[in-house]
Structure 1
């Protein structure tokens, strides 16, 4: 998963995928504002490990950035090539994301970190409404990740449950995928604690549903497979 807005990092991660057995896919970064964006997407798609792109929308001051008409050819390229769009957004972007996914109903979209709701200040109602609206679009998926760090330095993880429950209710197991958000989650907890919390939360689901959230949704969404 991309971490900086630099195509050099995308190529580096793809090289790691080719040399490392446990990396099955790469979500990279391209400059969507560049005239060659569709060409760059198409060129990267020749690499079987390349699965899609993630612009760092959360850091962009213009909340309407993703809706610029000049991006149409890039979104069209992603759609036609069966690639994915990781929406690294915050709650303030969700209305725009609804507009985007309605504009491109065949684009595979996943909301990263559940759009980072402001859990520390228990801001819930608008996020809940927007997430529910997005979940009604069948091309939209969501990651069960990133929530711990949004709770701030709060040792009471029960504060996360209403948000996790809403995601599960809205997307179901078939469109919800677990993510570690490592190493960022180390700002608030650690990998083992987040895994344990998720295990407890999912304990009432069937084994099939749990497998779906832990791995199968991501495998299907990103079309992951071991390559020879």
Structure 2
């Protein structure tokens, strides 16, 4: 079975544009590059990955293009662009050109912005129009605080290909299941919206109780089905709580429990379609035409 990691990072702090790392666990404040993951990923049986931005700069997106060209397991990049720039359309087109087919989507770092309503600003309409027109996707790095703003954006761009990163970061450690579940119920009503089965273990307190994430995973499968969930490692953030192989094994087990027979979809097919990834030279059709 082919496995695609739909959410993986590389970063090099010496580049100077990862401001959030200053508040991150010390173990993450170092470089994480292809040579740090290659053997572990191969041993786990993961074939390909989508590289996701970790710095709010177009320079970092170009850096990910460079790394992807050196790593034949990296089949796509979700980058960053200044979405409020007057020339945002030209900026997106330049990234598409410079990526040479690698750019599959864009992700503003919404969770780090001071304004919880930022996503609903009309000044972003041009950017989202262009993302949609160019057949790119939008990774929503959001939490409950952005619930209403995301809903307004989805209403304004109902055909935009959107994936919810890390299941919307539920407050698992504080047992915040009910409000999160109600939000997921709402989001699942948008037929184009997908969700990443990623980032859940890092929301737990220590000592780690893997069983705590099970009700959340069950709810995701109940609402999105196996057709709109895609597995991601969120490596190297994952390393603060578990190994690459541990999270993969747990995700496989829970998928078998709540969606028997759907491994090929959750661990490869959905990501390939959503991001229109090129696997073995054949580009998959996106879930929705641009």
TM-score (norm 2): 0.75
| Inter-partner Cα distance in structure 2 for 1:212 and 1:24 | 17
| Inter-partner Cα distance in structure 2 for 1:119 and 1:64 | 24
Partner of 2:138: 85
Shift of 1:203: 2.0
1:128 partnered with 2:219: no
Provide the secondary structure at the position in 2 that maps to 1:110.
strand
Residues 140 and 165 in structure 2, CA contact (< 8 A), matched pair in contact too: yes
Structure with greater contact order relative to length (CA < 8 Å, sep ≥ 6):
2
Shift of 1:17: 2.4
RMSD over equivalenced CA pairs, Å: 1.4
| Inter-partner Cα distance in structure 1 for 2:226 and 2:96 | 28
Q: Which moved more, 1:112-121 or 1:146-155?
A: 146-155
Provide the secondary structure at the position in 1 that maps to 2:101.
coil
1:51 partnered with 2:104: yes
Shift of 1:184: 0.4
Q: Structure 2: where are the runs of 5+ without partners?
A: 1-51, 283-290
Provide the secondary structure at the position in 2 that maps to 1:25.
strand
| Inter-partner Cα distance in structure 2 for 1:67 and 1:42 | 23
TM-score (norm 1): 0.95
**Aligned with 1:206 (options 248, 260, 270):** 260
1:158 partnered with 2:208: no
Shift of 1:21: 1.3
Deviations 1:188-226 (A, max 9, x none): 22212111211221223333x111001111110000014
Residues 53 and 84 in structure 1, CA contact (< 8 A), matched pair in contact too: yes
Provide the secondary structure at the position in 2 that maps to 1:107.
coil
Residues 117 and 148 in structure 2, CA contact (< 8 A), matched pair in contact too: no
1:149 partnered with 2:206: no
1:10 partnered with 2:64: no
Provide the secondary structure at the position in 2 that maps to 1:137.
coil
1:217 partnered with 2:270: yes
**Aligned with 1:32 (options 83, 89, 109):** 83
For this pair of structures, how many residues does the alignment match? Answer: 227
Deviations 1:81-139 (A, max 9, x none): 11000000112112221111111011100000011111000101111111111111011
Residues 95 and 130 in structure 1, CA contact (< 8 A), matched pair in contact too: no
Q: Which moved more, 1:195-204 or 1:102-111?
A: 195-204
